[in-house]
Amino acid sequence: MTEIHLELLLGKQVYDQNDRPIGRLEDVKAEVQGSDVVVREYHLGSLGLVERLGASVIVRALLGPLGLRREVKMKIVPWHDMDLTDPDHLKLRAVSDKYEGKY
């Protein structure tokens, strides 16, 4: 099992398979399994940052009536679709359009 320090990944740019930037890694969802903590998904983009700061419910409630919700982006990437072999250059293993607009 590979050990990667999460605090070193947060805020890093994530690239698609063609090396185009698609968003920064802003939040990680994980769960405890026995004595391990297992990552389930990665959240990229500005709404991911808002979520990490614990204000996503408030921001969504404020943006909805203003019609701005679609302007705030977050991509949810399953753990198996993120390539962490080079922690300094995070890449997706799948097409980036697959994650558009999931928030």
pLDDT in tens, 15-62: 998 899 988 998 888 999 999 888 999 988 866 555 655 555 566 666
Q: Which residue has the tokens 């679609």?
A: 70
Please count the other Cβ atoms lying within 10 Å of the Cβ belonging to residue 98. 13
Type of residue found at 27: D
Residue-wise pLDDT for 84-101, tens only, equals: 999 999 999 977 777 765
- The whole-number average pLDDT for the span 64-73 is 59
- Domain extents in the chain: 6-99
Phi-psi region of 34 (alpha: psi -120 to 50; beta: other; left: phi over 0): left
Side-chain half-sphere exposure of 81, counting CA atoms within 13 A: 20
What architecture is the 6-99 domain classified under in CATH?
A: Roll (2.30)
